[in-house]
Chains A and B, each alone.
Chain A
């Protein structure tokens, strides 16, 4: 057999391989992910995607899947690009055998694309804390879940933290609180809430937009240096975060008065600024660090077998843990769906029911190896946001560690509830949705 023939055979064999490989007979649970391992937001997308992949591998290896049913992980690369996200969603949504059980886009833009599709395709969207805030109103958005806390709740929590440092809500009066935000749908989310808060508590609010991807912020920080706000909040993502922290350091803005949203508080954001980032604050709803029992299991069952998606020493980074908590809640919703419907062959519609009556309390977290990792949640038909509690964490540049710097704040629902009601009703009216009744 000469070389040419040999190559021909090899090519034919490679082409034929997938036909055999995809031959499966047992029921499998399809969990898709829309990853971004490429593009300007890749440094943040990679730990999120790794955590998803590791947790699914862990369940398949350790427990044989969820309640004994194997999980089929389907991933698709979006590059944080909305158009690619649409292509990916259409590509994966009908993956056999169970169809996509829940979609987690990790992008506000893609979430907005998918929200109207979710009710038609009957696939639940779990936009964990991001996406359309008013989707918290389960009456208008039965297929969308954004627990554990929306950006609007988070904005009220961060302002409460500021008030605590200043000595009570009354002392906010006359203070200057600025917001540096990613000039996109995501970054604009907190504006309306902050405006309402500013009006109620009498502080001065101002928003400073930073255009995608956020490399250029000199002008923004010059303005901050000139006008000297008491506090700066940041709604940033990707490279914008590290640039902002470096710029803040260069104008000597006090780091303990600079609070990022929970997407602006990972190791990627503070490490480039080095020592100067010491004391930087950010919102969070879960712990950082890789010392939980679940992490040990991941090391043992996944990384020791050489199936790990990322680097072993990056297990436990903030964004890795965020990916873990996202996939953990998704899996618990699937488990809950199995329980409610009494079948192991769940469909996306059943998983929606699973989400809607999801309850993961502290005891269950401990069982999962995540004792004190986050707080307990309980989702209801009306409230898809859940508890909405947010804490503030602080960066210790010497120890290279995040630690909790505050209690978990309850959201100021008297501020957010009317805003959610107004925005969700506007959506209902535009799209001819009749809000369902929750009994």
Chain B
């Protein structure tokens, strides 16, 4: 009843090619953005910023990056943790070298550095495919983390090998470290993520995105119709790594504030982001956000419900949480193997006919 496109006629090509051709979608997305930008900052507190929203956004961005590579271009990668580390260390070193330069530019450059590293580690994808490529990217994971742990220059020779973010101002507003207000951290992250999401949505709708999807669906056929695998695959690696690098820089700078390579960027981090896109939905922008919400928010929600709501001992709650999360992942994958994004799509189709399905 509410979600029906009857009577919405498109009279121009641009209207036909809009990101959200259906008016209800437009209203919905604009509404969410309005709430996120103009509503949430006024009510946000430190708990919501540091423990929930900033990690959610950062993981959504990392998921988005991996989704470009895995979901859209079909190249499985297990090196996400390492690419996030490249972004984090690049931003750390850049802030050290150029403290005067705008933080946003430095984050952007960190993304570019990660893109370059991603392209180098993406080269094997031209020859090897599928699981074998996953193993090749695993090499990136272990090599890069080893490098950041081994070479003192990367962590400024600190005695513990930890990197710690410096206090950084963005146009006079503190965005990193404990003195940053929750709203500043949140808005800074949100702005970057909203912009990059819009860019990603447009890239995957355009020529480049279509060439990725052609490679994903059948690389030989794609080659036959004139898509160059070299360009398509490496551009996917570059764009994906750029996103993951920016996510890594934010993860280290805005979210954590300090990091050591083996804990913050280990192989579990790669799996974590991979789970986000598998649960959220491969080849879907929305999927990255839904998956991140599932993986980041659900444990916190379960913990607060069990410990705060029912008074379960925190240790017991910790064990139950691990069990429940595993069970829920299996449940959702059985109910909808294509992820939460697909569930959302089905819901929308049902809503079109609702409340008169016959």
**Partner-B contacts on A (CB < 8 A):** 14-15, 17-18, 21, 35, 37-38, 46, 49, 75-77, 79, 82-83, 86-87, 90-91, 108-109, 112-113, 116-117, 119-121, 132-133, 183-186, 188-189, 191-192, 211-212, 419, 423, 426-427, 430-432
Contacts and interface: CB of A to CB of B under 8 A. Distances in A.
12 contacts: A18-B311, A83-B55, A86-B50, A86-B51, A87-B300, A91-B51, A116-B177, A120-B178, A121-B178, A183-B262, A185-B260, A188-B161
B253 to A, nearest CB: 13
Nearest to A120: B178
Interface of B (DSSP majority class) = helix
Interface of A (DSSP majority class) = helix
A77 B317 contact: yes
Given A38-B315, A82-B256, 6 more contacts: A15-B309, A37-B314, A83-B256, A87-B300, A109-B263, A431-B164
B314 A113 contact: no
A23 B238 CA distance: 56
A79 B318 CA distance: 8
Given A18-B309, A18-B311, A117-B178, A86 B318 contact: no
Interface of B: 46-47, 50-52, 55, 149, 158-162, 164, 166-167, 177-179, 256-258, 260, 262-264, 266, 300, 303-304, 307-311, 313-315, 317-319, 322
A143 B307 CA distance: 29
B178 A86 contact: no
Contact of A87 (B51, B262, B319): B51
A14 B264 contact: no
B178 A112 contact: no
Contacts of A116: 164, 177-178, 257-258
Nearest to A133: B159
B295 to A, nearest CB: 12
Contacts of A185: 160-162, 260
A53 B188 CA distance: 40
B160 A188 contact: yes
Contacts of A427: 164
Contacts of A117: 178
A254 B158 CA distance: 33
B258 A35 contact: no
B310 A191 contact: no
A52 B99 CA distance: 44
Looking at B46, B310, B318, which has the most chain A CB atoms within 10 Å of its CB? Answer: B318
Nearest to A183: B262
B310 A431 contact: no
